Structure formats: C-alpha cells, structure tokens
C-alpha cells in the first residue's frame, strides 16, 4: 500500500490546549507524524509526495467565507499589534439572527467551535497540504490502487463546512470522499477514531450519496459531548445515511470488533463504490486521551475487518497521540488490511 506524506505539516505546531480549566501543551504535535512515519517504514510502505490540487477539493467541502478566513487569518491577527502568539477565540457566537462579522476577532469566534484549534502562522499552509495528501491518496485509488494511506496532519474529522474544532481545520476525510464521488455514485466513510466524527457527520448529514459511520467512545462521558449519539441518523434526503455506534468507556478489542460487524452490515447495504476510513489510532489502550482500550493486535483485527468489505479504500489519518506504540498500531492496522487483501 502506498502512503502519501509531506513535511509541510511541520508548519503547524500548536501550543495551547485547555483541559478542564488547565492550560497544557497540545497533544496534536509534529512528533505524531514522526512516529507514524516510523510505523509506515516498519510496514515497508512506499512513501509518495502529494500532488498540489489547488482549491478545488477544498471548495467541494468548505464554504468560501471559511476558506477566506483561514487564508487571511494570521496576517489580520498579526496586524492588530497587541495579539498573542496563537489565534484562540474569546467568543463563540451561537449565530441565532446573527450578522457575519468583519473584524478578525469576531471571525475567529464565528469559525471556531472550541479552543482546541489554535491558529499559528503556518496553520493554513499545513491544513492545505493535508488536503492535498488526502486527495492524492483518493486519486491513487481512483486510478486503480486497491488502497492508499494519507498521513494527514493536522487531522480533519471535527471540522465542519465552516467551523474548526478539536485540532481540525479542513476535513481531510470529507475531501477524500468528495474526490472519490467524482468517480463513484456512492461513497462510505467509516470513522474509527476514539472521538465522534462530528464535522464529517455535519458536512454530509443531509446527503444520500455519502454514508457516514462513526464508532467512538460514548459522548455522554467523552468529547464532543453534544454529537455522536445513536439517534442521529441524518436528515432530509440524507435520513438513514448516518450511523453512530457509541461504545462504553474502556471498551476493548472484542467489543470494538463486534461494533465493526454492525458497521459492516450498514456499509454493505449502502453498496458504495469506495470507502474512506477515518483512521484514528487514539482508541488505543495507551493513548493519552484514554477513552477506549484497543490493543495493537486489536488494530490488526480492525484492519482485517475493513479489508473484508472488499472496497477500494482510502485510509486518512485522524487522531492518535504520543505513546510508545503509536507507530506499531499504524503498522498493525494497515498490516491487518494487507494480510486479507
């Protein structure tokens, strides 16, 4: 399996992370990619540089206002003269009967859900590079590869059409799915991150052509708290094209694989032409965000279960934070897929 990667991700190096009132160094660090690269090398994957696709793939998913904000944000913030080293909103409007703001502080609040997506001088460049990585992997599969892996950083599945949240700015998995839609009538997204893929769900919630399935820690007790419940099934033409499978905190390998069986039935019934896997590795028993308890062997089983779907598959890296076995978990997930295919 080919793996797409670029060193441009390093231009995004956020520092701020607010956890229950305590400011910490964020867990979404450049070192994540180094450990994932080690996992790719251990699996003997060929590394491919991304193609620059321009704004087209991003425009299929994200609004013009939002893309304009991200492109202009740092320069406008810096021009204030008294601003901090990262862009962090101090207000988040609910948008009821609201007017779109023109001031950069207002736009920052308008386009961010939470404080865990600080914007720095290189964030826009890194986020654009990540969408190129995802689009390149999707193009490889469209061109006939059985599967491809996209090492995307920053991640993307919490980003909505015009909102950043949860370390995410541009939704790489949604961008990959939209690119695959150029070739396939229906595409499915399977999100195996420990957190619910709320941004991906929001982008496709009213669309019947993209199935979104998310297996994640129960949001009653875990971020994002207000999305990810089983009753969220889509709306309008997309009713029935969204499936959430929340799992009890601490669920291990067997419980996770059982949930995958439920997801498999829904995906097969939908009959997509291709599959995007939002590959979060933060369901690991050793992940610092500690929601589920999947072992390295469990990730191998997850990869094998995905392979048995028999679909052209794009793996898009989402979460998975600093632990000694992060790279090994990636090797296992992709290796389990390859063992079956």
Q: Which residues are catalytic?
A: 158
Taking phi over 0 as left and psi of -120 to 50 as alpha, with beta for the rest, 313 belongs to beta
**3-state SS record for 280-313:** CCCCECCCCCCCCCECHHHHHHHHHHHHCCCCCE
**What distance, in Å, lies between the first and last C-alpha atoms of the chain?**
10
Helix, strand, or coil (residue 154)? coil
DSSP string computed for 232-298: ----GGGTTSEEEEEE-TT--HHHHHHHHHHHHHHHHHH--SEEEEEE--TTBTT-TT-S--B-HHH
Q: Rounded to an integer, what distance in angstroms lies between the CA atom of residue 179 and that of residue 186?
A: 11
Q: Two tokens at 173?
A: 């998995």
Q: Which residues contact 245 (CB under 8 A, 6 or more apart)?
A: 213, 214, 215, 216, 230, 259, 262, 263
Q: Two tokens at 89?
A: 């909103």
């Amino acid at each position: 399996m080919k793996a797409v990667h670029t060193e441009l991700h390093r231009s995004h190096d956020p520092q701020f992370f607010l956890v229950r009132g305590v400011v910490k160094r964020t867990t979404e660090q450049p070192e994540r990619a180094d450990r994932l690269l080690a996992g790719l090398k251990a699996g003997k994957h060929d590394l491919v540089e991304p193609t620059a696709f321009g704004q087209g793939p991003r425009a299929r998913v994200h609004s013009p206002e939002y893309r304009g904000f991200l492109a202009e944000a740092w320069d406008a913030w810096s021009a204030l003269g008294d601003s901090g080293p990262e862009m962090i909103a101090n207000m988040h409007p609910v948008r009821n009967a609201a007017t779109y703001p023109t001031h950069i502080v207002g736009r920052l609040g308008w386009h961010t859900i939470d404080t865990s997506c600080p914007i720095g001088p290189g964030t826009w460049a890194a986020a654009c590079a990540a969408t190129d990585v995802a689009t390149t992997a999707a193009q490889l599969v469209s061109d006939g590869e059985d599967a491809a892996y996209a090492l995307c950083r920053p991640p993307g599945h919490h980003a909505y059409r015009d909102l950043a949240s949860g370390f995410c700015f541009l939704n790489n998995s949604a961008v990959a799915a939209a690119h695959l839609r150029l070739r396939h009538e229906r595409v499915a997204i399977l999100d195996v991150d420990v957190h619910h893929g709320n941004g991906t769900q929001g982008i496709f919630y009213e669309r019947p052509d993209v199935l979104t399935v998310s297996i994640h820690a129960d949001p009653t007790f875990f971020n994002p708290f207000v999305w990810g419940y089983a009753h969220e099934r889509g709306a309008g033409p997309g009713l029935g094209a969204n499936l959430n499978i929340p799992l009890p905190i601490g669920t291990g390998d067997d419980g996770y694989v059982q949930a995958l069986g439920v997801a498999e039935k829904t995906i097969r019934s939908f009959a997509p032409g291709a599959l995007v896997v939002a590959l979060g590795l933060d369901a690991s028993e050793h992940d610092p965000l500690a929601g589920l308890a999947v072992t390295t062997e469990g990730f191998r089983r997850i990869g094998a279960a995905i392979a048995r779907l028999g679909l052209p598959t794009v793996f898009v890296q989402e979460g998975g934070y600093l632990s000694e076995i992060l790279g090994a978990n990636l090797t296992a997930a992709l290796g389990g897929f390859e063992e079956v295919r």
